[in-house]
Structure 1
Amino acid sequence: MGMFEAVARVVHEAELQLGDGVWELRPADSDLVRQTAAALTDAVGPAEAHEALPRIERLAALREALAAVAVTVARTHGPLAWFLADASSHLAPVLHWRALDAPDNRTFGAVLPAGDELADAEAAVRHLAAMLTRTGHSA
């Protein structure tokens, strides 16, 4: 299962919980949701523009997105933290990716992502950002 599919499952579960009233977004979390959505959108732009960037910039943007999610998880508790922690766990492989060649192969286990892996991770971030944007505006 790719990152997009995994994040889409988590997003779907969150949308069901929000829709069923199982999870009610606290007022204090609404601002965090909007801030996180904006940070994700700023980090990983539209596919057409983003996929034209060099691999090193695409990877940096994905790491920035993951950092934004981690900061939000650190600032909240309960369902929002659980949701974002689950989503971030599916995005965590980007932390083991590298953008540079390593002729001596001393990379601490970091690997070069395939082109489709970058695109998949970027699509997952966009999907998460879209859900947070919808949720933040409806709160």
Structure 2
Amino acid sequence: MSMCGAVEQVVREAQRQLVDGGWDPAPADLVLVRETASALAAAVGPAHVQEGLARIDRLAGLREAMAALAVTVARTHGHLAWFLAQCSSELAPVLHWRALEAPDGRSFGAVLPTEEEFVDAEEAVRRLEVMLGRVGLGG
């Protein structure tokens, strides 16, 4: 399954929990949700912008998104932490990517992602950002 598909499943589960009352974010969590949504939007822009960037910049943006998720997970507990931790797990392959050639083979197992993998990961971040934006606005 693609990263975007996996994140989409987690987002759907979170939306179900929000609708059925199984997850009622506290005001402090809503502040974190808004901050995280903003950080994700700043890290990964619209598709037409991202696709024009150099591979190293695209990878940096995805890593920044992962860092934003990690910081939020460290600052909260309960449903929000569980939700973002699962999304982070689905995006974890990004942490094994590299943008630079490693001619001597010494890349610690890091691999060059394909264009499709970049697009998939970036779309997953965008999907998560949209969902968090809706939660942060109370909708």
Q: TM-score range by the shorter chain?
A: over 0.9
How much does 1:106 deviate?
A: 0.4
Residue equivalent to 1:27 = 27
Residue equivalent to 1:90 = 90
Instruction: Spell out, residue by residue over 1:90-112, the C-alpha distance to the aligned partner (whole angstroms, 9 max, x if none).
Output: 00110100000111010000000
| C-alpha separation in 1, matches of 2:122 and 2:69 | 14
Residue equivalent to 1:2 = 2
How much does 1:80 deviate?
A: 0.3
| C-alpha separation in 2, matches of 1:31 and 1:123 | 24
> Structure 1, unaligned stretches of length 5 or more?
none
Residue equivalent to 2:52 = 52
2:134 pairs with 1:134: yes
Residue equivalent to 1:102 = 102
- Provide the aligned length of Structure 1 versus Structure 2: 139
Residue equivalent to 2:36 = 36
| C-alpha separation in 1, matches of 2:37 and 2:120 | 18
Q: Secondary structure at the match of 1:22?
A: coil
How much does 1:74 deviate?
A: 0.1
Identity of aligned residues (%): 65
2:130 pairs with 1:120: no
Runs (4+) off by over 2 Å:
none
Residue equivalent to 1:72 = 72
How much does 1:16 deviate?
A: 0.4
| C-alpha separation in 2, matches of 1:121 and 1:83 | 17
Q: Secondary structure at the match of 1:100?
A: coil
How much does 1:51 deviate?
A: 1.0
Instruction: Spell out, residue by residue over 1:101-133, the C-alpha distance to the aligned partner (whole angstroms, 9 max, x if none).
Output: 111010000000011000000000000000000
Residue equivalent to 1:13 = 13
Instruction: Spell out, residue by residue over 1:1-45, the C-alpha distance to the aligned partner (whole angstroms, 9 max, x if none).
Output: 010000000000000000111100011101000000000000000
